Amino acid sequence: MNTLLLLVLCGIGYIAAYNTYGRFLARKIFKLRKDAPVPSVELRDGVDYVPARKGIIFGHHFTSIAGTGPIVGPAIGIIWGWLPAIVWVFFGSIFMGAVHDFGSLVVSMRNQGKSISEAAAKYINVRVRFIFFAVVFLSLLIVIAIFGVVIATVFTGFPSAVIPVWLQIPIAVALGYAVYKRGGSVPIATAVAVIGMYLCIALGAWIEHLWPGSSAMPAILSIPPTGVWVIILLIYAWIASTLPVTTLLQPRDYINAWQLFVAMALLVAGTAAASLQNKLPLIAPAINTSLPANTPPIWPFMFVVIACGAISGFHSLVASGTSPKQVSREPDCQFVGYGSMILESFLAVLVIICVAAGVAMAVKLADGTILTGKQAWLHYYDSWIGDKGLSDKITPVVIGAANMMKALGLPETVGITLMGVFIASFAGTTLDTSVRIQRYVVSEMATNLRIPLLPNRWIATTFVVITAAALAFATGANGTGAMILWPLFGSANQLLGALALLVITLYLKRKGGLKFIVTGIPCLIMLVITNWAMVKNEINFLAKEDPLQKWLLVIIGAGIFVLAMWMTIETVIAFFSLRRSEESHRRPGLSV
């Protein structure tokens, strides 16, 4: 199939879905109202609850949910073929992922911007709150510890990204000050900030070109570079997550969104230019019938590996964490919740094109040999890429993107720097948001359990960062300890998505009628797929040689599985109790 035609068809499909199914959800299912009270206004505190313009909150929400998920997942998932990857990303996002994100945002906004755990307690029962909290806390703990390693890995592999990423911080603070403190024009402040950001990217590429390795982090006090970066990043996350959202979090996410828009525009233009030059055929197999050894079966694992581009439980944490505390009008939920997921899915399509076609344009080996075509693709995909390191998963995307940008006349070093900064920046925004959300979750639970001091934002954030650091350094000074639990994250994350859909389904069920079907069907599909994957993973974990990792994965995985089953049973009971109640009200002479 023609690569450009594939991209155009997907783009048109997403636009159509947003304006049809997305509008149907907004008007008929959730019935968004312009005059409805919203938490950002009613509970405004200048720290977490702050009403924001639709475009600004879209930038925050999008960059927070995107992270590296729609990059790494499709880069691995294409091993089963570009066709199943595209089909899952496209239809999964429209009918499942975007519905999940949209519903989580609306339910949270109609419950004072509280987490999905609190909504579970209200719409199902109080016991479920603690089940959900356990799954959410573990998922966020892994995300926070891992994303420190992700950024450290990008900084190590692409040192030209170090300076631009850190210089984004003062640019973001200046943007927030100009808009919120000085009342400056948002378009002008945005233009200045984005230009400044790209000048920093050029500076990073220039410095790395003149002094290769000058931005690399040395070992300090016998702590390897990755460990040093993890410490620095966790300290940064503590600071960023306790500041008012308008100081750093919101403006940084906003300018990163513009960085994404530019990067995506370059990739779209690169796809068009390379396709018109007949340099961008889809080299990866449409359906891969010659899978490398150790590759797991496509059912159910592709639906777990490719998460963020289709549906991801982590999104429900953002949609019921930072975002509902900043949305200023209910109708904005369609743009922020449904629209962000659709755009992320389009990004996943671009990533699939990068690794299915772009990488085949040229791969330069260390000895100077240049591979093209099928050989170039097999250089990365002749073995199960899921077992490789993080840099091995990211590199095909960066190389493919740089090749496509080269068709526009951009030097390869500039393309690599752009993608390195892009990946590190998005991982950084996810790290910021995750620490803040974990603080919300810990504070809510501490309040419910009446634990003194822990609801305080500084103490709660300290607890969050210390627990993440403990996991990160559990296996040594390199800060990669969270990797021991990383095999759990894919299925646990998708299971979290299924559980969030359970809560939204019960919310819609309480509204009456058959509205709950729009989330109930995706919920059933995700429950089957993720529980299937978790059972298979448990079997695979038992075969691991490292006894520590084996039993940690087996015990924690089994615990998550049991909790999820428990919550599902509680939800089914609540669902049919509501049904019996509705039937009793419809029949004269019967009492509830």
Could you report the per-residue pLDDT of 66-91, keeping only the tens digit for each? 877 788 899 999 999 999 999 999 99
Residue 148: closest CA among 233, 223, 266, 21: 233
Residue 359 pLDDT > 90: yes
Beta bridge partners of 220: 223
pLDDT at 584: 56
Among 107-111, 153-157, 322-326, 547-551, the minimum mean pLDDT is found in 153-157
DSSP strand pairing (363-364 vs 370-371) = antiparallel
Q: Please give the average per-residue pLDDT across 460-471, as a whole number.
A: 95
Q: Is the dihedral of CA 548, 549, 553, 556 positive or negative?
A: positive
Stronger pLDDT, 572 or 588, i.e. the higher one? 572
Among 211-220, 339-348, 354-363, 537-546, the minimum mean pLDDT is found in 211-220
Q: Please give the average per-residue pLDDT across 256-285, as a whole number.
A: 91
CA angle 388, 391, 397 (to 5 degrees): 105
pLDDT at 313: 93
Stronger pLDDT, 36 or 490, i.e. the higher one? 36
Residue 414 pLDDT > 60: yes
pLDDT bucket at 586, cuts 50 / 70 / 90: low
Measured distance CA(37)–CA(270) in Å, rounded: 44
pLDDT at 582: 57
Residue 592 pLDDT > 50: no
Q: Please give the average per-residue pLDDT across 451-460, as a whole number.
A: 92
pLDDT at 32: 97
Residue 519: closest CA among 575, 564, 565, 569: 575
Cα–Cα distance list, 359 to 2, 272, 347, 353, 362 (Å)? 16, 15, 16, 9, 6
In degrees to the nearest 10, what's the CA dihedral of 501, 506, 511, 515? 50
Q: What is the DSSP string of 503-547?
A: HHHHHHHHT-TTTTHHHHHHHHHHHHHHHHHHHHHHHHHHT-S-H
pLDDT bucket at 404, cuts 50 / 70 / 90: very high
Beta bridge partners of 65: none
Would you state the structure tokens that stand for residue 157, as one six-digit string?
């592999």
CB-side exposure of 348: number of CA atoms within 13 Å?
39
> How far is residue 459 CA from its own chain's centroid?
26
pLDDT bucket at 175, cuts 50 / 70 / 90: very high
Residue 152 pLDDT > 70: yes
pLDDT bucket at 143, cuts 50 / 70 / 90: confident
pLDDT bucket at 587, cuts 50 / 70 / 90: low
Q: Please give the average per-residue pLDDT across 525-553, as a whole number.
A: 90
Would you state the structure tokens that stand for residue 431, as one six-digit string?
């790290």
pLDDT at 5: 95
Would you state the structure tokens that stand for residue 555, as one six-digit string?
């015990």
Residue 430 pLDDT > 60: yes
DSSP state of 188: H
From the number of C-beta atoms within 10 Å of its C-beta (0-12, 13-18, 19+), residue 379 rates as middle
In degrees to the nearest 10, what's the CA dihedral of 74, 22, 511, 33? 130
Residue 75: closest CA among 229, 250, 284: 284
Percent pLDDT > 90 in the chain is 56
pLDDT at 212: 78
Q: Quote the mean pLDDT of the chain.
A: 89
- DSSP 3-state percent helix, strand, coil across the chain (nearest 5): 75, 0, 25
Measured distance CA(50)–CA(170) in Å, rounded: 21
3-state secondary structure of 52: strand
pTM for the complete prediction? 0.92
Residue 494 pLDDT > 70: yes
Could you report the per-residue pLDDT of 223-256, keeping only the tens digit for each? 988 899 999 999 999 999 999 999 998 899 898 8
CB 283 within 8 A of CB 413: no
pLDDT bucket at 591, cuts 50 / 70 / 90: very low
Single-letter code of the amino acid located at 570: E
Q: What is the DSSP string of 471-500?
A: HHTTT-TTS-GGGGTHHHHHHHHHHHHHHH
Q: Please give the average per-residue pLDDT across 420-449, as a whole number.
A: 87
pLDDT at 589: 45
pLDDT at 577: 82
Cβ neighbours, 10 Å, residue 60: 28
pLDDT at 544: 85
pLDDT at 410: 85
Q: Which residue ranges form the domains of the chain, and what is each CATH number? A: 3-586 (1.20.1740.10)
From the number of C-beta atoms within 10 Å of its C-beta (0-12, 13-18, 19+), residue 439 rates as buried
